[in-house]
Amino acid sequence: MDTKLFSSYTVKDVTLKNRIVMAPMCMYSSHNEDGKVENWHLTHYTSRAVGQVGLIIVEATAVTAQGRISPQDLGIWSDDHIEGLQQLTGMMKEHGTRAGIQLAHAGRKAVIEGEIIAPSAVAFNEKMKKPKEMTKEEIKETIEAFKEGAVRAKKAGFEVIEIHAAHGYLINEFLSPLSNLREDEYGGIAENRYRFLREVIDSIQSVWDGPLFVRVSASDYNENGLDVEDYVTFGRWMKEQGIDLIDVSSGALVPARIHAYPGYQVKFAETIKNEADIPTGAVGLITSGLQAEEILQNDRADLIFIARELLRDPYFPKTAAKQLGTEIEPPKQYDRGW
């Protein structure tokens, strides 16, 4: 049976062999707190490449040491990180998987020693540290750090970059009026709140011509926050800037009750895809091949981002193919078993 899930997908000059993407998930495994790749990363990501995932986007990788979500996060703030990341991309590509990386800064959600920074001096909740409001100089330095991260990503052999603008981290904090109380050109009206992301995109594009994705949280789940219609507007601006695809998640900007159910974020991806006329990736409790195929066949998204199901099943593509009554080519070494 011909399936959309196992059809190829081309972005710029990069072709994915199927539409299954491993979503970025923090592994908290840089145990020396130096942000370097360890054996765990090589094992974890390469096994999903052996499992025939089309694109693997490596976890949130910090563009500054201060911007780590935790001290065990991967980093790309130094040239010392390139060698380990290069080994990782080489191992993934050996199995025909495309290698992507998510460039990130945690902002006020950084759980690290010392000072943390954010658009405004407002803590995430009463248990979290209060951040320092960023100066214009710190904004400029952070945009430069994203650019340098893209330069290193290229040297390390990554073929896709995703900018992390979701889940309440720094870029998301600039976008939402709940966390951005600034009164300068980076705060206030939507254009101003978008300015930081706009400048990050421009700076990365000055050194990177490959596929560029952005991950967003399409709802703050708060009546005074942003919802999907705000992200349709942002999506149009991203399209004008040349962004290739928006990876649509939701929540985590402020504490909120979220009613999660199978495919609960797909509607957001569908709305942004249709109303902003830009390709999207759907993510969130997508656990079967049938569910993924339905999303693609009904034009609700262009790529399927799988997170926890790939933690449970590194060979999810094989499982999904079986559910859809189709066959995929196994790794030669596993021919007899598959």
What the chain holds in terms of domains, given with CATH numbers, is: 2-322 (3.20.20.70)
Say whether 323 counts as a known binding-site residue.
no
The average pLDDT across 327-337 equals: 93
pLDDT of residue 1: 74
- Torsion on CA atoms 295, 15, 8, 265, rounded to nearest 10: -10
Q: Helix, strand, coil: what percent of the chain each, to 5?
A: 35, 15, 45
In 3D space, the residue among 67, 171, 92, 255 whose CA is nearest the CA of residue 162 turns out to be 171
Q: For residue 269, which phi and psi values (nearest 5 degrees)?
A: -60, -40
pLDDT value for 125 = 96
307 is in an annotated binding site: yes
In what helix (H) or strand (E) does residue 271 lie, and over which residues does it extend?
helix 266-276
Mean pLDDT of the chain: 97
Mean pLDDT of 115-130: 97
Using DSSP's 3-state secondary structure scheme, residue 103 falls into: strand
Instruction: Report whether 215 belongs to an annotated binding site.
Output: yes
pLDDT tens-digit profile of 295-324?
999 999 999 999 999 999 999 999 999 999
**DSSP symbol at 107:** G
pTM greater than the 0.95 cutoff = yes
Query: Which tokens belong to 243?
Result: 């962004």
Q: Give the pLDDT band of residue 135 (cuts 50, 70, 90).
A: very high
Q: How many residues does the chain have?
A: 338
Structure tokens at 108: 């006020």
The CA-CA-CA angle for residues 19, 210, 191, to 5°, reads: 95
Give the per-residue pLDDT at 275: 98
Check the annotation: does 308 bind a ligand.
Answer: yes
- 151 closest CA partner among 165, 142, 161: 161
Structure tokens at 204: 């990365």
Mean pLDDT, residues 180-186: 98
Residues 6+ apart with CB under 8 A from 191: none
**Mean pLDDT calculated for residue range 13-20:** 98
The backbone region for 32, taken as left when phi is positive above 0, alpha when psi lies in -120 to 50, beta otherwise, is: alpha
102 is in an annotated binding site: yes
pLDDT digits (tens, 9 = 90+) for 50-109: 999 999 999 999 999 999 999 999 999 999 999 999 999 999 999 999 999 999 999 999
The response to whether 190 counts as a known ligand-binding position is no
- Report the share of the chain in percent with pLDDT over 90: 99
Is 193 known as a binding-site position?
no
Residue 263 CB neighbours (<10 A): 19
62 is in an annotated binding site: no
